[in-house]
Structure formats: C-alpha cells, structure tokens
Amino acid sequence: MPSPLVSPVVFHLGPIPVAEEVVTTWGILVVLGAGAYLSTRRLSARRPGRVQAAVEAVFVLLEDQIRGVLQSDPGEILPFIGTLFLFLAVANLSSLIPGVKAPTASIETPGALALIVFFAVHFFGIRDKGLWPYLKSFAQPSVVMLPLNVLSEITRSFALMVRLFGNMMSHEFIIGILVTLVGLLLPIPFMALGILIGLIQAYIFAILATVFIGAATETLKKASPRT
Amino acid sequence: MTTQELSIICATVAVSFGAIIPALSEGRAVAAAMEAIARQPASAGTLSRTLFVGLAMIETMAIYCLVVALVLLFANPYAK
C-alpha cells in the first residue's frame, strides 16, 4: 500500500517537482476565482438574481457564525475566514470527483493553511494591540507562564494541521481499504459520510482560526475600559 | 523480534488506546451537550458551536495517535 505521507509527482517545473495535489489546488483556485468573478459581475440591490441570492445566503451564514464566536463585529477578519472556509469546503469535497484526490489529504496543504493562520493570528494581534502590549500578553498571569504560552502557540497550529490532515487522509485510506476488500457498492455510504466529514472539518478549521484570532485581539477590548 | 514487527504491534496498540479513550470522552461531551440543549433549546446555536470546538480538541488526541501509528508504519526511522 502506498504511504500516505508522500505525494506522487506529476511533472517537474524546472528543478521544482509539482505534485498531484498542487495541480488540484490550481484547479480549485481557478474554479473559485471564476465563480467569485462571475457571481458578482451583475449585482443589484433592487432585483437580486438567483445566483446573487445564493451567494448572499452563504455570506450571511459565515458572518453570523463569526459574529457569534467573536461577540463583536467581524469586519476585517471576515474575508480571511470566509476564504479559508470556502477553499477548505471545496478542497475537501473535491475528492468526490472521480480521479481527483483531495489536496487536504496530504500533509503539505493543511501545513500551509495552518502556517497562514499562525501568522494571521499574530498579525491581527499586533495590529490590534501594538507590538509591545501583544508581546507582554504572553507573560500574562505571570512570567512563569511565558514558555508554556509560547509552546501552546506552536502546538495549537500543529494540531490544526494534523487534525485536518488526519481526518481527510484517514477517510480516503478507509475507502481505499474497503474498495480492495469488498469491491464496488459498499464504499458508497462511507463516501456519503465523507461529505459530512469534509464540511465539518472545514467548519472546525475556520471556527478554530476565528477563536485563535479572537483570543489574540480580544484582551484589549476587555481591558480598555479599566485603563 | 525485528523492528518492523515491533512497530506493527506498537502502531496497533497506539491506535486502539487512542480510539478508546477519546471515544469515551467525546461521548460524555455530546451527552452533556444534549442534556443542555434539551433544557434550554434557545441556546442550541451557541452550545453546538462550543461543542464542535471542544470535540475537535478531544479528537486531536486520537489523531495524534493515528499519526504516530502512520509514522511507525510508513516513515519509521529505525526500521532498516
């Protein structure tokens, strides 16, 4: 059985090997970009078309969820979290197309996304609080907690990566084992379960990113009335 | 016993314990959330969002075990 930790290389771009997942990601980028361009080309406040109504429903859903977590106006992090969720949902569900392997099922894509979230948390935190108060918040209860707080920053990003990778990869692995064992029809209920797993993992990844950003930016809003 | 046989056994043990204990604790978390939703159906939205985040945290432990097992089976630095 092939190892799930290495991804097959399709072609070489000069000295750089291009893996199968990278090609799938390019496809998803094109689909999402074209979809976003085409669905927002003819917007109208008076007479929204069907496409506009559907896109607005998705937007309102995302905004409500983020507002519920942050307990404040989502404003500036909505584009980031929304893009993350839409990309993850499409990427997780792309394994339903025959012959396409979900890019999130190999460890590089979740790693890249978790790294983006890691830097975004610090970016929003520093921008909201300023550099020195943000750095001081790591030693918040006392200086003894400093190494633990720094460690938790790293481990939670690692957990974010491993959770997405583990769920998507193990699901594909189980379907592969079932196909080799019993053949054609039995894996179908498991593939239906895969739709649920993919959407829930995209939701959890986006919600956890929101929670992390909220935790990095929130302390000031709580502390500001006192100072 | 060779390193390969040993790592197969260890991978099985890691996955089995990593499945049992998170499964029990996830069951307790879901049961508590169900009870809370039954008492206060109005707060179901907040409860289920918190439940999902908590379940993701618990599930992480199980997936750590899975990744350790996969590393033992496919990327073991000590075998060969």
Give the range among A39-48, A56-65, A216-225 with minimum mean pLDDT.
A216-225
d(CA A220, CA A198): 35
**Cβ–Cβ contact A3 with B under 8 A:** yes
A198 within 8 A of A93, measured Cβ to Cβ? yes
Cβ contacts of A165 on chain B, cutoff 8 Å: 67
User: Considering only CA atoms, which of A99, A97, A100, A107 is closest in space to residue A158?
Assistant: A107
Q: Can you tell me the mean pLDDT for A36-53?
A: 83
- pLDDT score of A227: 36
Task: Locate the chain A residue with the closest alpha carbon to B71.
Answer: A5
What does pTM read for this prediction?
A: 0.85
B66 within 8 A of A170, measured Cβ to Cβ? yes
- pLDDT score of A220: 43
- pLDDT score of B31: 95
Q: Which of B63, B73, B80 to mutate to test the interface with A (most CBs of A within 10 A)?
A: B63
User: Considering only CA atoms, which of A95, A88, A111 is closest in space to residue A203?
Assistant: A88
CB contact under 8 A, B70 and A5: yes
User: DSSP string covering A19-83, please?
Assistant: EHHHHHHHHHHHHHHHHHHHHTSS--SSS--HHHHHHHHHHHHHHHHHHHHHSS--GGGHHHHHH
Percent of chain B with pLDDT over 90: 40
pLDDT digits (tens, 9 = 90+) for A79-137: 999 999 999 999 999 988 888 888 888 888 999 999 999 999 999 888 888 888 888 88
Question: Cα A112–A114–A117 angle (5° rounding)?
Answer: 110
Q: How confident is the model at residue A1 (pLDDT cuts 50, 70, 90)?
A: low
**Cβ–Cβ contact B10 with A under 8 A:** no
Q: Can you tell me the mean pLDDT for A20-43?
A: 88
Residue A224 has pLDDT above 80, yes or no: no
**Cβ–Cβ contact A140 with B under 8 A:** no
CA dihedral A175, B58, A66, A160 (to 10 degrees): -70
pLDDT digits (tens, 9 = 90+) for A6-30: 777 777 777 888 888 888 999 999 9
Residue A65 has pLDDT above 50, yes or no: yes
